[in-house]
Every structure is written in structure tokens, then in C-alpha cells.
A and B are shown apart, each in its own frame.
Chain A
């Protein structure tokens, strides 16, 4: 069946612009995670959704970052006023439910801020 998909696969933006990254989880998966992979920081957790609510936003690095999930499915990660340090690969993962521990990852969105 279809896996986790993310769009766009690559995004180049100018410093100061806003960007939206999209994640389509596996159908039926209620838990959704965003991670960031960067050279300096490795793989870091950003935010966790269970259904449409986000009980854990502890990894969001600043208030420029926000995310939402609608219909218990698609999620959008928004970065406002992008900075060069936001350049990274943003990975989305989903799991059947929050307690099923195995996460399935999408291919990621590579964000470059110039």
C-alpha cells in the first residue's frame, strides 16, 4: 500500500519568507510525527500529533515553527520568516496509533534557505 508521502521534495526559499511543508501519513495511522535532520543537530523530534491534537510540541525550536493536522490525516508544518539555520531535511513519520511504537517515515522535504 501507499507509504508516507511528503511534498515538496525540495524547497528553496529566500531568508524571511514563509514556507509550508506537507505530510500525508499512511491511511488509518492516527499518530503523526515531524522530525528535522540537519548537519549540526542530527535527527531531532519536532512535534507529535494524536489525531488532530498535538500533545507534544516540545521539539519546535522557536515560535516561528507551527504545525497543524486536519481530518486526522494530512499535516502541514509552517515555518515563518525562515532563517538560514532552518535549512534541513524535514521528515514526517506516522504510526498506527501513538502506542504502537513503530514509525513509518516519508522521504522528507529538503529545505534550503538562501
Chain B
């Protein structure tokens, strides 16, 4: 079985500061990895995904993430955040076969302060 841990439930950060949102996963098989963002009262939007290849993945809105197999991590980073980045961020994994259903972390609420 797979599991995903997002240790930080809330992360406050000042505008234009860098941010890192942490994601660790556990799986006995290889997985795909995803970061989704959820703005208030909206569905989930894909930020980026790791399927294979380069471990540094770039996504939308200036976000990037690095896959670290040895540490089973997939942390999300942005060098300079904006007020508009205030949202909830979810890390998810899916197996490379079967139904491809997502196993989600509990989410990290990013609050960007002026």
C-alpha cells in the first residue's frame, strides 16, 4: 500500500520570500508523484507531476519539485511567492499500473502574508 505524508498543515510566508512544502511517501512499488493546488471553493488543479526521467520537475506558476528516491520525498518549492499563491496544496501518488487512483496527503495550507 502507498501512503503520503505532508508534515506541515500550515505554512505562513511573507510575499516574495521562498517557500518549500514538504512531501514524503511510502510505497513498496514505483509510483508517479503529483502536486495539486486547491483555491478556495474550487477543484484541484495540477501543478506538476513526476513520471520518470529528470528528478527536477517544473510546473505552472513558477513552482518546481524534486524527486528524491532515496529519501522518498517530493518537496515543492517556489523561489518567490505571491499573495495569489495562498491556497491548499496536496501531494499525491499513484501506482504505475492498475487503476491509477490517487493517494493524497493531508494537504498544506500556504498563507502568503503582505
* A38 CB, nearest partner CB in chain B, Å: 11
* A15 CB, nearest partner CB in chain B, Å: 25
Q: Find out whether the CB atom of A45 lies under 8 angstroms from the CB atom of B43.
A: no
Please give, as numbers and ranges, the residues of chain A lying within 8 Å of B99 by CB-CB distance: 48, 50, 55-56, 98
Which residues of B76-108 have CB atoms within 8 Å of chain A's CB atoms? 90, 92, 94, 97-107
Q: Find out whether the CB atom of A106 lies under 8 angstroms from the CB atom of B43.
A: yes
Please give, as numbers and ranges, the residues of chain B lying within 8 Å of A98 by CB-CB distance: 99-100
Q: Find out whether the CB atom of A101 lies under 8 angstroms from the CB atom of B43.
A: no
Asked if A25 lies at the interface with its beta carbon under 8 angstroms from chain B, I say: no
Asked if B32 lies at the interface with its beta carbon under 8 angstroms from chain A, I say: yes
Please give, as numbers and ranges, the residues of chain A lying within 8 Å of B106 by CB-CB distance: 42
**Is chain A's binding surface mostly helix, strand, loop or mixed?**
strand
Please, how many angstroms separate the alpha-carbon atoms of A59 and B42 in the complex?
23
Please give, as numbers and ranges, the residues of chain B lying within 8 Å of A108 by CB-CB distance: 43
Please, how many angstroms separate the alpha-carbon atoms of A84 and B60 in the complex?
38
In the assembled complex, 26 residue pairs joining A and B whose CB atoms fall closer than 8 Å, in A order, are A4-B43, A31-B100, A33-B101, A42-B104, A42-B106, A42-B107, A43-B90, A43-B104, A43-B107, A44-B104, A45-B102, A45-B103, A48-B101, A55-B99, A56-B98, A59-B101, A91-B43, A95-B100, A98-B99, A99-B97, A101-B51, A101-B94, A102-B46, A103-B46, A105-B36, A107-B43
